[in-house]
Amino acid sequence: MDIDLAALLQHRFGDAPAVAPDTPGREALTRLAGHRSHRAYAERPVDPALVRLLAAVALSAPAKSDLQQRDIVIIEDPALRKRVTGLVTGENPWLEKAPAFLVFCGNNRRQRQLHEWRGRTFANDHLDAFFNAAVDAAIVLQAFITAAAASGLGSCPVSAIRNHAQTVSDLLKLPDHVFPVAGLGLGWPAAEGYVTARLPLAATLHVDRFDDSRMRQLVEGYDRRRNAIYPYARQRFVEKYGTQAEYGWSEDKARQYSKPERADFGAFVRRKGFKLD
């Protein structure tokens, strides 16, 4: 399908930048701008060799100071897969039919092993040790998603595994200083999917200085624009908040985070040996 990059960005943000006809890499930029998550998959297996290839491509992504503090766990054993994904299929029922499932982990253990082997003091035992590993894992997760899309595969990240971080860690036998960041369902798309509208660039793109002086106006406009494209199919926590005639992104997200999520994650990270000072 021939998709115009400018039109795609206009649909995505509502305030797209100009796109020159001679923009370098325009075809690749269009593919990236057209990203969509996939939660419905064809009944077709994904070759394990392809998954490993995509993992190798993803692990070629940048790493903070070349520390390489990220690992991928490909879950192939059906019984283990059922136990891990069963923790989160209540809110992600589509995951049961995903042909492949992976877990992306932050790994600060390897760095500490280097210090032990080389007889060097580990002088950075504070929050940044955890943060660097988490960011490295997130970069590789995005690189894998991009590589998968280039191969014609669809995917969707699953952050809900952090709702059960200790159980996932135990099932995958993650040692101290290794922790799950997100899962990823993977398969051949059963449908094209859709391009999700994002907040306008005026809300999230800044020059020289951060400025959110017009944020409420921009968010309310985004609510209206997004609802005009695809309204929410259901409203969260109706039993507590009731229903609203105009239910948009801001109300959905405010409701979502009005309920505690992962309040025990900090304690889990500390049990993994991290100091978060």
Q: Where are the domains of the chain?
A: 48-193
pLDDT score for 91: 87
Give the Cβ contact number of residue 261 at 10 Å.
11
Please state the rounded mean pLDDT for residues 64-84.
98
Task: Give the confidence band of 46 by pLDDT, cuts at 50, 70, 90.
Answer: very high
Residue 3, pLDDT > 80, answer no
| 48-193: in CATH 3.20.20.190 | no
pLDDT score for 1: 38
Structure tokens that stand for 120 in this block: 């060097």
Please state the rounded mean pLDDT for residues 201-224.
98
